[in-house]
Structure 1
Amino acid sequence: MTWLIFGILTAFFEAIKDVFSKQNLKKNDEYVVAWSLASFSAVFLTPLLFFIKIPQLNPQLNPQFWIALSIGGSINAVTAILYIKAIKLSDLSLTVPLVALTPLFMLLTSPLIVGEYPNFFDYIGIFLIVTGSYLLNIKEKSQGYLAPFKALLHQPGPKLMLIVAFLWSITSNFDKIGVQNSSPIFWLFSLFTTMSLLLLPVLLNKTPNPSRKIMQQLPMLATMGFVNALGVIFQMQALTMTLVVQVIAVKRTSVLMGVLFGHFIFKEKDIQQRLLGSAIMIVGVFFITL
């Protein structure tokens, strides 16, 4: 059960990363935070390259690695901006739980990409995840039974996070392909370096004098990248030990931590309904792992 320990550590550092991301957004825009997240993650992963065997990088010998990197890097660059913007526009306790929908979407994407198929427990998990997402906005029920779902689709933060959850259901599968055709550390370094390069022109175009802003908030931005690097290292190690959907399912327990951090650190409201909804979603996620 080593993969389970790695999965729980992934969830913990994921939640801490969200807190630092939200804090950084107080003085920076989403483009600075997204680029810094990718870039500093790559920086902190670089020393680990000296302790691993660098895999063969000849494209003719390892085409799957390059395909995974091209697709995964491009999609993750987009999701980095969308994710940071989502937590900027709305409460952590409302947006972060929606990433628990990733395993739900993976029931569609995993069979197509890596040949992993759902079972009976997966469908129970689907029901619980949908129920939990409904409860996140249960206060809207007075406007109609479908109002909680409509609220998620109309509020800017949750709407962006739904897109992120779907895109992550795709990239998680390419993470596994990338790891299988290289190594966890080398894949992560390659992925975040690619994201950093792709996000750089966006940063330069969208943010005036970004270098000055980054230097002013360097300790906080660097810490965010360091925490993220720790989390993804544990995630990629876990991916080498079990199914993609199981790793991502355990990782999504970070949403419970995110709801609590949102309440105690950022003083967000409606904690009871969001905590209940998140907990039910997590139970659904674990049914998917059975």
Structure 2
Amino acid sequence: MWFVFALFTAIFASLRDLVSKQALQRIGDEYIITWSSRFLALPFFLPLLFYQFSQQPPTWDASLAGTIFIVLVLQVISNIFYFRAIKLSDLSITVPMISFTPLFLLATSPLIVGEFPGKWDILGMLLIVGGSYILKIRNQEQGYLAPLKALFRENGPRFMLAVAIFWSFLSTLNKLGVEQSSPILWAALNSTVLATAMTPIMLYKSQHNLKLIPKNIGYLFAVGLFQGLTVLCFMQAVKLTLVAEVVSVKRTSILFSALFGHLFLQEPGIQERLTGATIMLVGVVIITLL
């Protein structure tokens, strides 16, 4: 079942990216998109949260409160960076940079939750990272280091690489939060706290664009819904297996995002980008089956 939840996490994440890109093209304000991804997920989460409280009230202690605070800070920063990244660059170029998250998990997962991937897991992670590198190769005559150099010259992929680092910590901290509570409770609590924190930030940063919210409420609500489904499926998956395995399967969202970006946003270069995404997919298969 963990694989099913992880795969649905990837599908919902790619749909969130697609709708977010469209919303950014209409609004041009990453703070509104970041806020809506959490605040407009609350109609989905609050009934689950109230139900969970009635069935299994959480045991509040300093450890759980500390985890919530650290996750909140990292989530605010990474969410703003995430939507700024997909605002600045093509979806099928920017989103693959988050494939570096499994590589960073090799350090953060043993450190925070004591999970040590096996040799096949490490091989799969390296293939995923290698596939993301291939995605950047547009002209092999310039050398294989050219895409890597270009990565650090483009703002979109640079922001997304920072997000990958933050997410390696967040993935392991989310597992810690799930173990301290439950998947539903932690997912709902996580989104509620982050939505509360993002509201004053958005009101301050986007005060001149608030009039655009009612005009684009359909797009924004879709962003919130897909984000909520992504978070819930992810929390269910990490409850059942290693964080590194879930995150690696989640990276198949790269393949879905490249396809959706080409089909619905007419983003170019689909053939060479899908080649890299396929290499990542092989890595995911190795992690899942071996």
Asked if the contact 2:121–2:287 (Cα under 8 Å) also holds between the matched residues in 1, the reply is yes
Q: Aligned equivalents of 1:258 and 1:79: distance in 2?
A: 19
Give me the CA root mean square deviation: 1.7
Q: Aligned equivalents of 2:144 and 2:47: distance in 1?
A: 53
| 3-state DSSP of counterpart to 2:40 | helix
Asked if the contact 1:103–1:285 (Cα under 8 Å) also holds between the matched residues in 2, the reply is no
Asked if the contact 1:203–1:210 (Cα under 8 Å) also holds between the matched residues in 2, the reply is no
Q: Residues 183 and 126 (structure 1 numbering): CA distance in 2 closer, same or farther, change over 3 Å?
A: closer
Q: How does 1:265-280 map to 2 (within 5 A)?
A: 265-280=264-279
Asked if the contact 1:42–1:188 (Cα under 8 Å) also holds between the matched residues in 2, the reply is no
Q: Which moved more, 1:23-32 or 1:231-240?
A: 231-240
Q: Aligned equivalents of 1:117 and 1:148: distance in 2?
A: 31
Indicate whether 1:94 and 2:93 are aligned. Answer: yes
Indicate whether 1:152 and 2:154 are aligned. Answer: no
| 3-state DSSP of counterpart to 2:115 | coil
Q: Aligned equivalents of 2:221 and 2:46: distance in 1?
A: 14
Tell me the alpha carbon deviations over residues 242-276 of structure 1, each in whole angstroms, 9 at most, x when there is no partner.
11111111111111000001111111111111111
Residue 31 of structure 1 is matched in structure 2 by 31
1:209 positional shift: 3.8
- Return the TM-score normalized by structure 1: 0.93
Q: Aligned equivalents of 1:217 and 1:100: distance in 2?
A: 30
- Return the TM-score normalized by structure 2: 0.93
Residue 56 of structure 1 is matched in structure 2 by 58
Residue 58 of structure 2 aligns to which amino acid in structure 1?
Q
Residue 44 of structure 2 is matched in structure 1 by 44
Q: Aligned equivalents of 2:204 and 2:50: distance in 1?
A: 34
Q: How does 1:129-148 map to 2 (within 5 A)?
A: 129-148=128-147
Q: Residues 127 and 239 (structure 1 numbering): CA distance in 2 closer, same or farther, change over 3 Å?
A: closer
Q: Residues 48 and 4 (structure 1 numbering): CA distance in 2 closer, same or farther, change over 3 Å?
A: same
Asked if the contact 1:100–1:285 (Cα under 8 Å) also holds between the matched residues in 2, the reply is no
Residue 110 of structure 2 is matched in structure 1 by 111
Fraction of identical pairs, as percent: 44
Q: Which moved more, 1:136-145 or 1:91-100?
A: 136-145
How many residues are aligned here? Answer: 286
